Chains A and B, each alone.
Chain A
């Protein structure tokens, strides 16, 4: 860090010199003569008396753009006769600025720090001998993945596009959906080494200004060497570190981000990652799939199913442990005898058995993500054998336990937002311990603790459990069930505190002139 700081301070002071060769020497020295740095020296003007150089980083620039820009410049610069406006460096600069139509933008720089930033971001710098300024042409263009289909948050009905690693592509994906002039964007660079572009997008007039101010402040507070993913940003600015629950929403879907913006949220887009952050977030948001809004409103009842799956995923193993160790009287007699038959000969208590199976599954799941793709099929064979038949036949676990683990595992994937499945995975183990020690009493103590914790959370000032706690009747239209769109007339109250009315469509009815 110290080394970086020192360097930075030095280059900030230095301004571009009047002699070209000094400047080139300086660039070469600072960048360590890196091989991807291209410095091509040219001669322009009458008889090539004026020396000039263009500097850019190979791979970050679109060479076609440079050609399109430089070619006509060079040709026309030769055509102009001496004494007709191409003699002094100032005149050349003006001439150049007149030709900006062919490239995106052109600006002047005077110091080396902006020169390096431009060169390393993919811009091309034009230096002219005798001029203590540089000209930056925007020529960014590098290999990227292109907009591809969503891989995490897939839907049956709805757009397939997902964000990419390029910031500009991502903002364009949002712009293409919201063509309002009030969709504003601010960009800052975070990371002293990485100089990562971080943009915040919001719709002026809908966004809660206090939240916006808070986001800006928190982003400005970050002082770190590098930001490689939006997760880095999230960790630096989230409200609460010691909670299993995410206090920021992340998505790879432009439509989800746009919907968030229209509800008054702020999107934080980080260059180099397809994951966009949305703040503030509430608990219920993790149960809302984008598809809920694209299908007819009765499909929104799926959310109730997701809540059931949430509880199953959180509680199924602990409930099984509690009932089989402490509360056998809760079961119907025939079921108890059935379970007792299965447990006959199993050497471990239900808790150990459940822990064993849950751990096995978690290992399989982790391995499934991390493992090279070619070995993929192997894990399904091993997984099916270990979790399934073999464990039972070896007499280590009961078949009922397998069912419990399977339903737990599969319920964990029901959430539209994968961020919510992580806290459940953690809390599940805690609750299993509580169930093994105190039975259902323990589970309830655990649940009460979780609930209290959830109520104490805030995301950028908005209570995490709203609109349930604090309760808001109107916002219930978009929690457990989704009301028809024409019924959801207002935006979530705590998210956007002004400009509440979202739409005023009439309840659709057959018209007077129906056939």
Chain B
């Protein structure tokens, strides 16, 4: 097993060459129960630049004693500049080479180089790429502001005429150079951390802009990808109630009116009451109904803001409206397909939300109620 296990790959561009950086696990430091007394970094980074990516990888062996083993890549970080220029030339190697497992996430380094992302020490998970991978998977399940996109999914949406891809962004918070030293993780509060940012919107293979946190969650509600999220609603009486969504579905329907397409999105969400910071009688059925209505409005608002950004500002069909029309009205799609990139902007979208509250947690009324009575 004389291998350099690559867990993360970063791609940047410099002049006309790709700068490929790979994060390689140092097994004696990263694994096992026995922490090495010397305490090297758990990973190391090899950087090489070449006109093609494979060549850059092979070049790395001139500085690495072991062969680069890429079957366990957890994350592929693409520099923001490369993403803006277009991904088409970058991705082929990863899709073609047999060693890649295709279950890694593709992300974009936001406001920094991909290379820098791979140099930050992380806590809890020793290996930064694994840390990013699990953190992306966790936030996808519990907060839904991001999307873990696998390579094959990315390529499929890229080539689909009726849908554009999104990719999650990664940012570095804090000072980049301080994050590269071990000192970073020896503190309770590290100088520098890696953060899952919001969704980047692509048009075909080019990055055109970013969704905000709110819009990202709206996007995930529209595409039915929410596996868990949290939102709060403001009560008419003041105070807030936070709701934890644990299941959400979305159904998109296309309708043709006078030859023009219309979209109807139905979002079904189920949630629990997670936090009550105010006065409300949860024993009352009508109060629950009121909360459900407020929640529906809130989700609708999120979704509308995402549509707004996608249609008017970024002009990219990340929601897959085109695909829906293609599926439901194939004949009309044949006509629409040509100018879809422009026509998409004007498609009227109606959003219907149906929210259900299922449980109230361990208690019914908040103790605040009792507190205020006395």
The digit string for B125-157, where 1 denotes a CB below 8 A from any CB of A, is 001001000000000000000000000000000
Pick from A333, A334, A340: contact of B1, CB under 8 Å: A340
Pick from A325, A340, A342, A345: contact of B5, CB under 8 Å: A340
Question: Are A343 and B71 in contact, CB atoms less than 8 angstroms apart?
Answer: no
Which among B25, B32, B130 has the highest number of chain A CB atoms within 10 Å? B32
Chain A residue numbers with a CB within 8 Å of B5 are 328, 336-337, 340
The digit string for B8-36, where 1 denotes a CB below 8 A from any CB of A, is 00000000000000000101101110000
Question: Are B71 and A340 in contact, CB atoms less than 8 angstroms apart?
Answer: no
Is A324 an interface residue when CB atoms closer than 8 A count as contact?
yes
Which among A324, A334, A339, A345 has the highest number of chain B CB atoms within 10 Å? A334
Bound Cα distance from A343 to B32, whole angstroms: 11
Question: Are A328 and B72 in contact, CB atoms less than 8 angstroms apart?
Answer: yes
Is A7 an interface residue when CB atoms closer than 8 A count as contact?
no
Question: Are A325 and B1 in contact, CB atoms less than 8 angstroms apart?
Answer: yes
Chain A residue numbers with a CB within 8 Å of B74 are 333
Considering only residues 308-348 of chain A, those with a C-beta below 8 Å from chain B are 324-325, 328-329, 333-334, 336-345
Bound Cα distance from A340 to B43, whole angstroms: 13
Is B99 an interface residue when CB atoms closer than 8 A count as contact?
yes
Chain A residue numbers with a CB within 8 Å of B99 are 329
Pick from B1, B69, B127: contact of A339, CB under 8 Å: B1
Chain B residue numbers with a CB within 8 Å of A329 are 71-72, 99, 101
Is A350 an interface residue when CB atoms closer than 8 A count as contact?
yes
Bound Cα distance from A125 to B161, whole angstroms: 107
Give the Cβ gap from A149 to chain B, nearest Cβ, in Å: 46
Is B291 an interface residue when CB atoms closer than 8 A count as contact?
no
Bound Cα distance from A345 to B127, whole angstroms: 21
Chain B residue numbers with a CB within 8 Å of A333 are 7, 72, 74, 130
Bound Cα distance from A179 to B141, whole angstroms: 71
Question: Are A336 and B28 in contact, CB atoms less than 8 angstroms apart?
Answer: no
Bound Cα distance from A344 to B72, whole angstroms: 18
Question: Are A328 and B30 in contact, CB atoms less than 8 angstroms apart?
Answer: no
Give the Cβ gap from B292 to chain A, nearest Cβ, in Å: 41
Pick from A328, A334, A344, A350: contact of B28, CB under 8 Å: A344
Question: Are B30 and A337 in contact, CB atoms less than 8 angstroms apart?
Answer: yes
Question: Are B25 and A340 in contact, CB atoms less than 8 angstroms apart?
Answer: yes
Pick from A328, A334, A345, A350: contact of B3, CB under 8 Å: A328
The digit string for A338-372, where 1 denotes a CB below 8 A from any CB of B, is 11111111000010000000000000000000000
Question: Are B27 and A350 in contact, CB atoms less than 8 angstroms apart?
Answer: no
Question: Are B72 and A343 in contact, CB atoms less than 8 angstroms apart?
Answer: no
Bound Cα distance from A344 to B42, whole angstroms: 14
Question: Are B101 and A340 in contact, CB atoms less than 8 angstroms apart?
Answer: no
Question: Are A342 and B130 in contact, CB atoms less than 8 angstroms apart?
Answer: no
Q: Is the interface of A mostly helix, strand, loop or mixed?
A: helix
Q: Which residue of the partner chain B has the closest CB to A323?
A: B1
Bound Cα distance from A324 to B1, whole angstroms: 6
Interface size class of A (residues with CB under 8 A): 10 to 19
Pick from B1, B25, B72: contact of A350, CB under 8 Å: B1
Given the known interface contacts A333-B130, A340-B1, A340-B5, the answer about A328 and B31 at a Cβ–Cβ threshold of 8 Å is no
Given the known interface contacts A337-B30, A337-B31, A338-B31, the answer about A343 and B1 at a Cβ–Cβ threshold of 8 Å is yes
Given the known interface contacts A328-B1, A328-B3, the answer about A336 and B72 at a Cβ–Cβ threshold of 8 Å is yes
Give the Cβ gap from A8 to chain B, nearest Cβ, in Å: 67
Bound Cα distance from A345 to B5, whole angstroms: 16
Question: Are B72 and A341 in contact, CB atoms less than 8 angstroms apart?
Answer: no
Give the Cβ gap from B105 to chain A, nearest Cβ, in Å: 13
Question: Are A334 and B130 in contact, CB atoms less than 8 angstroms apart?
Answer: yes
Pick from B3, B30, B69: contact of A341, CB under 8 Å: B30
Chain B residue numbers with a CB within 8 Å of A350 are 1
Chain A residue numbers with a CB within 8 Å of B25 are 337, 340
Q: Which residue of the partner chain B has the closest CB to A346?
A: B1
Chain B residue numbers with a CB within 8 Å of A340 are 1, 3, 5, 25, 27, 31
Q: Which residue of the partner chain B has the closest CB to A345?
A: B28
Bound Cα distance from A333 to B25, whole angstroms: 11
Q: Which residue of the partner chain A has the closest CB to B127?
A: A337
Q: Which residue of the partner chain B has the closest CB to A331?
A: B72
Bound Cα distance from A168 to B127, whole angstroms: 73
Give the Cβ gap from B39 to chain A, nearest Cβ, in Å: 15
Q: Which residue of the partner chain A has the closest CB to B30?
A: A337
The digit string for A113-144, where 1 denotes a CB below 8 A from any CB of B, is 00000000000000000000000000000000
Give the Cβ gap from A346 to chain B, nearest Cβ, in Å: 9
Question: Are B71 and A328 in contact, CB atoms less than 8 angstroms apart?
Answer: yes
Bound Cα distance from A325 to B2, whole angstroms: 9
Bound Cα distance from A336 to B7, whole angstroms: 11
Give the Cβ gap from A350 to chain B, nearest Cβ, in Å: 7
Chain B residue numbers with a CB within 8 Å of A324 are 1
Considering only residues 255-280 of chain A, those with a C-beta below 8 Å from chain B are none
Chain A residue numbers with a CB within 8 Å of B3 are 328, 340
Bound Cα distance from A345 to B26, whole angstroms: 12
Given the known interface contacts A325-B1, A344-B27, the answer about A338 and B101 at a Cβ–Cβ threshold of 8 Å is no
Give the Cβ gap from B31 to chain A, nearest Cβ, in Å: 3
Bound Cα distance from A170 to B127, whole angstroms: 68
Bound Cα distance from A337 to B32, whole angstroms: 8
Give the Cβ gap from A93 to chain B, nearest Cβ, in Å: 87
Pick from A325, A328, A336, A342: contact of B32, CB under 8 Å: A342
Considering only residues 66-92 of chain B, those with a C-beta below 8 Å from chain A are 69, 71-72, 74
Chain A residue numbers with a CB within 8 Å of B127 are 337
Give the Cβ gap from A389 to chain B, nearest Cβ, in Å: 15
Q: Which residue of the partner chain B has the closest CB to A335?
A: B31
Q: Which residue of the partner chain B has the closest CB to A398?
A: B1
Chain A residue numbers with a CB within 8 Å of B1 are 324-325, 328, 339-340, 343, 350
Give the Cβ gap from B8 to chain A, nearest Cβ, in Å: 11
Chain A residue numbers with a CB within 8 Å of B31 are 334, 337-338, 340-342
Chain A residue numbers with a CB within 8 Å of B71 are 328-329
Question: Are B7 and A341 in contact, CB atoms less than 8 angstroms apart?
Answer: no
Chain A residue numbers with a CB within 8 Å of B69 are 328
Bound Cα distance from A345 to B7, whole angstroms: 21
Given the known interface contacts A325-B1, A328-B69, A333-B72, the answer about A341 and B130 at a Cβ–Cβ threshold of 8 Å is no
The digit string for A7-18, where 1 denotes a CB below 8 A from any CB of B, is 000000000000
Q: Which residue of the partner chain A has the closest CB to B3?
A: A328
Bound Cα distance from A345 to B36, whole angstroms: 13
Q: Which residue of the partner chain B has the closest CB to A342?
A: B32
Bound Cα distance from A350 to B3, whole angstroms: 13
Chain A residue numbers with a CB within 8 Å of B7 are 333
Which among B5, B27, B30, B71 has the highest number of chain A CB atoms within 10 Å? B27
Chain B residue numbers with a CB within 8 Å of A341 are 27-28, 30-32
Q: Which residue of the partner chain A has the closest CB to B133?
A: A333
Q: Which residue of the partner chain A has the closest CB to B72?
A: A333
Bound Cα distance from A337 to B72, whole angstroms: 10
Give the Cβ gap from A109 to chain B, nearest Cβ, in Å: 77
Give the Cβ gap from A303 to chain B, nearest Cβ, in Å: 37
Give the Cβ gap from A423 to chain B, nearest Cβ, in Å: 31
Bound Cα distance from A104 to B208, whole angstroms: 108
Bound Cα distance from A337 to B31, whole angstroms: 6
Bound Cα distance from A340 to B66, whole angstroms: 13
Give the Cβ gap from B115 to chain A, nearest Cβ, in Å: 22
Q: Which residue of the partner chain A has the closest CB to B28?
A: A344
Give the Cβ gap from A354 to chain B, nearest Cβ, in Å: 13
Given A337-B27, A344-B27, A344-B28, 17 more contacts at CB 8 Å? Answer: A328-B72, A329-B72, A333-B7, A336-B5, A336-B72, A337-B5, A337-B31, A338-B32, A339-B1, A340-B1, A340-B5, A340-B25, A341-B27, A341-B28, A341-B30, A341-B31, A350-B1
Give 9 pairs: A residue, B residue, CB < 8 Å, sorted on A. A324-B1, A328-B1, A328-B71, A328-B72, A336-B72, A338-B32, A341-B30, A342-B32, A344-B27
Give 8 closest A-B pairs by Cβ, nearest first.
A341-B31, A329-B71, A340-B27, A341-B32, A341-B27, A337-B31, A344-B28, A333-B72
What residues make up the interface of A, taking CB atoms closer than 8 Å to B?
324-325, 328-329, 333-334, 336-345, 350
